[in-house]
Amino acid sequence: NVMLRKIELAPGQKRTVTAELVLPMDVDLVALTPRASRRCTGLEVVVHPPDGRPTALLGVEDWNPHYRETYVLESPVRLSQGERVSVVWRYDNTEANPRNPVTPPEEVSLGARVGVANVLLMCAPTDPDREAELADFAVAEMRRRQR
């Protein structure tokens, strides 16, 4: 889970926020489920290999929080230990954002233990004997981000 725990926006502010996760082992990614609020206007999920060129996994140019869609990949994508998965969310707290719930825009300070925006990565370790280790990593990562 790549999570943005808190976001603060001034009235009239546009902001880009990034969060990332470094993979602890080789995994096969089969689906992604993004979540974000109404002030989010777009997001992108990118994989950064340690020695290679970044690859976009998902790009949503016109984010609608009502989609609630899981994006299932046509075939699993192999991701390697040490690769960074980053998520870039674009926020717009202006009157020009048709999904902004408040007009005129007000100061926004959102935070939650489970995050105000996240992308759930549905994956499995390439070595089935490491499933428990991956689950433990996910729990530890969630606790780390809650601090």
pTM to 2 decimal places: 0.90
Buried b (16+ CB within 10 A) or exposed e, 51-71: eeeeeebeebeebeeeeeeee
Winning range, highest mean pLDDT, from 68-72, 121-125, 143-147: 121-125
Range 120-129 average pLDDT:
96
Range 5-20 average pLDDT:
94
Burial of residue 129, with CB atoms counted within 10 A of its CB: 0-12 exposed, 13-18 middle, 19 or more buried: exposed
User: Tokens representing 111?
Assistant: 């935070």
> Can you give the C-alpha Rg of the chain in angstroms?
16
**Distance (Å, rounded) from C-alpha 145 to C-alpha 147?**
5
For residue 114, pLDDT beyond 90: no
| 40-70 per-position pLDDT tens digit | 999 999 999 988 899 999 999 999 988 878 9
User: Tokens representing 91?
Assistant: 């926020």
